[in-house]
Structure 1
Amino acid sequence: MAGTFGLILAGGLARRMGGGDKALLPLAGRPMLDHVVTRLRGQCDGLLLNANGDPARFAGFGLPVVADTVPDFAGPLAGILAGLDWLAEQRSQTPWLLSVAADTPFLPVDLAARLHATRAAAGTPLACAASAGRAHHAIGLWPVSLRENLRRSLEAGERKIAAWTARHGVATAEWRAEPFDPFFNINTPEELAEAERLAAEVR
């Protein structure tokens, strides 16, 4: 969607998967990250990847890679701040960041449009996705105008997305979870096996 840049959050430690980069695990013959990129690319002006460590391991995707600027793996909010900072410096005319998780390979193709419409209708500065009655706080719209407030909150120790967004006003866009949840995320080997089954159905 015009005026919106996509951020794929891949900065987690993947402890339940045994460590390493979940985003690079194979799913239906391709890296999981490739599925996310394919789903998101047509919805945004461009894409950006948040990951810590050597960025060269993602070179094949052709995306800018930004690391957290807040130390000690401060969670998704730190990745979102890194994305907002990059956007302010590199794409200063783009006012919106759309964040998604790198382990959600079945994202809806109307994600950006629905979030923008929901936020505008509610008159809030923020929006997040939901399905099956559960909010997905890391999948949402973020205005670059709030980045300094987010920086101060992180420096003060804030780590919970829901707590920070609630203070500013966040609208929730709900998606159906049938025939499958478009925000199905992969944290364990068992969930990766389930994603393989879902990928076959989606095809």
Structure 2
Amino acid sequence: MAEILGVILAGGLARRMGGGDKSLKTLGARPVLERVLERLTPQVGALALNANGDPERFAGFGLPVLPDSEPDHPGPLAGVLAGLDWAAGQGAQRIVTVAADTPFFPTDLVAQLANAGDGIVLAATPHPEKGMMRHPTFGLWPVALREDLRGALRGGLRKIVAWTDQHNAATAAFPAEPFDPFFNINTPEDMLAAETILRDHAP
């Protein structure tokens, strides 16, 4: 899908992992970010990484690094906006975002999101008690909405779904078996769980 660009969201502070970059932690002898790149690169026309601080720590991955365009770490929506601004400069119409700490997301993510709608589309998986659960850092975003998003952030909005609900976001459902493909690594315990998924399913 050459018309859709990819943006990896790595702008968080990783407090539950003791700080540092979760995406640079090693999973199965490889950085988590390398696994994310391996999955996303074939699905998009070009890639960038949203991250704050010194971009040189990501130099080995050969990606443009996009800092948040809004101050004070306002959350993932700031990364989405940075990606939309970058894509506008590339002449693209849409981006797909993925989280940098989620190494097992579907290899057909972009195709399924694009098939679900032309506006904002968020990934979702079934939960036995909560129904369909959205994964709002995994989404398809029209570049045309970037000024609307900029205004929302400057107005204090922080929660992704509070903004996407304003735009009647669609969802694309993915299976959650044999494991949730949107499992993300937040804690050292999560890293151990990711190692188990890798060992048992070799995704």
- Confirm or deny a common fold (TM above 0.5): yes
Q: Percent identity?
A: 57
**Displacement after TM superposition at 1:200 (Å):** 1.5
How far does the alpha carbon of each residue in 1:114-151 deviate from its partner, in whole angstroms, 9 at most, with x for none? 0011114xxxx110001132100111000000000000
The yes-or-no answer on 1:97 pairing with 2:95 is yes
Moved over 2 A (4+): none
Separation of aligned partners in 2, 1:117 and 1:66? 27
Number of the residue aligned with 2:125 = 131
Separation of aligned partners in 2, 1:83 and 1:117? 21
| Residue identity opposite 1:41 in structure 2 | T
Number of the residue aligned with 2:129 = none
**Displacement after TM superposition at 1:201 (Å):** 2.2
Separation of aligned partners in 2, 1:138 and 1:163? 13
Number of the residue aligned with 1:22 = 22
Separation of aligned partners in 1, 2:6 and 2:200? 26
Number of the residue aligned with 1:48 = 48
| Residue identity opposite 1:37 in structure 2 | L
Query: TM-score normalised to the size of structure 2?
Result: 0.95
Number of the residue aligned with 1:157 = 156
1:80-91 to structure 2, matched below 5 A, reads 80-89=80-89, 91=90
Separation of aligned partners in 2, 1:58 and 1:44? 20
Structure 2 unaligned blocks of 5 or more: 127-131
How far does the alpha carbon of each residue in 1:24-79 deviate from its partner, in whole angstroms, 9 at most, with x for none? 00001100001100010100001110000000000000010000011111000001
**Displacement after TM superposition at 1:202 (Å):** 2.8
RMSD (Å), alpha carbons: 0.8
Number of the residue aligned with 1:110 = 108
**Displacement after TM superposition at 1:2 (Å):** 2.4
| Residue identity opposite 2:191 in structure 1 | L
Number of the residue aligned with 2:200 = 201
SS state at 1:116 partner: helix
| Residue identity opposite 2:113 in structure 1 | L
1:47-86 to structure 2, matched below 5 A, reads 47-86=47-86
Separation of aligned partners in 1, 2:123 and 2:183? 12
Separation of aligned partners in 1, 2:70 and 2:200? 40
| Residue identity opposite 1:59 in structure 2 | A
How many residue pairs end up in the alignment? 197
How far does the alpha carbon of each residue in 1:1-25 deviate from its partner, in whole angstroms, 9 at most, with x for none? 1210000000000011111100000
| Residue identity opposite 1:173 in structure 2 | A
Number of the residue aligned with 2:142 = 143
Separation of aligned partners in 1, 2:180 and 2:145? 30
Separation of aligned partners in 1, 2:49 and 2:177? 29
Query: TM-score normalised to the size of structure 1?
Result: 0.95
